[in-house]
Amino acid sequence: MELLENLHDAGVMGVGLGDLATRARLKPPTAHNLLKTLVQLQYATHDPQTRRYNLGPRARVLGRAPDAADVLARVSAPALQALQERLRETAILAVYRDGLRHTLLTFESSQELRVGAGCGVDSHLYSTATGRILLSQIPAPELNVFIDTHGLPSDEWRDVRTLAQLHGALDGIRQARFAHYDRPEGHVAADAVPLPLRRDDLVAAIGVHYPRVRTPADGDQALKQALTETAVRIAQEFQGAA
């Protein structure tokens, strides 16, 4: 529990193994083994690039009744896993909360060449397909707060530099109910669609990550259809459970 409390205190930026071990008064190997278990159980997440740990999605449910996002994660799991198995690519579920993207579920591709994804909290809404979907779905006042806090996109979103361009891009995503993202510096692509939950307090999206050298399903339209069908199925399950 002390490790979880330290992860909570670290906030969105997360904390490294050495700092966690010091705070918890543990030897680094002991802390590492405990954290490995917490990550496996989704009580913690680990970013291999920054080597920092954050609270995982299951940690939020400790000591309280499940909220709408917890219910959504539970009912989404079967459909999202089925999507991953159908496309053989990594599938994720994300929600918007307090200006951040919360990735609640991930089902990774088992292919040798794959794009990984982890659960956790980040501010990568401009530079992810699910993030762009979430921004296109939140109310205008919340979008204004996000822009005031994070500024306009820079290198995260090609051809979007001004406020007018951002609103135009989000309008296009909102109308299409679909977002595509190519990482400029890598060989990663992602597609996402919104979940039609019909709730003001919960904005969510599902997405698929894959190497740019291949397209899942039978082309872009088939991929969009698979995502859309899964989103509708999840929304129906959620409405029955909420």
pLDDT, residue 218, reads: 65
Mean pLDDT of the chain: 85
- Residue range 2-61 forms a domain whose CATH class is mainly alpha
Q: What is the mean pLDDT of residues 33-46?
A: 82
pLDDT at 170 over 90: yes
Q: Does residue 67 register a pLDDT over 90?
A: no
Q: Please report the pLDDT score of residue 153 as a whole number.
A: 92
Nearest to 60 by CA among 120, 112, 19: 120
Q: What confidence category does residue 230 fall into, taking pLDDT thresholds of 50, 70 and 90?
A: very high
The per-residue pLDDT for 77 is 92
What average pLDDT does range 208-223 have in this prediction? 76
Residue 236 reports pLDDT greater than 70: yes
Q: CATH number of 68-241: 3.30.450.20, 3.30.450.40, 3.30.429.10, 3.10.180.10?
A: 3.30.450.40
50 vs 170 pLDDT, higher one:
170
pLDDT of residue 64: 43
Rounded Cα distance, 185 and 187, in Å: 7
Q: Where are the domains of the chain?
A: 2-61, 68-241
Distance from C-alpha of 229 to C-alpha of 83, rounded to nearest angstrom: 9
How buried is residue 149: exposed, middle or buried, by Cβ count under 10 Å (0-12/13-18/19+)? exposed
CA dihedral 150, 152, 153, 155 (to 10 degrees): -100
Higher pLDDT, 114 or 21: 21
Q: How confident is the model at residue 160 (pLDDT cuts 50, 70, 90)?
A: very high
What value does the mean pLDDT take over residues 43-70? 71
In sequence order, which ranges of the chain are alpha helices (DSSP H)? 2-10, 17-24, 28-40, 68-87, 129-137, 140-150, 163-176, 220-241
pLDDT band at 63 (very low <50, low <70, confident <90, very high): very low
pLDDT score for 76: 93
pLDDT score for 223: 87
| pLDDT of the residue at 226 | 93
Residue 10 predicted with pLDDT over 50: yes
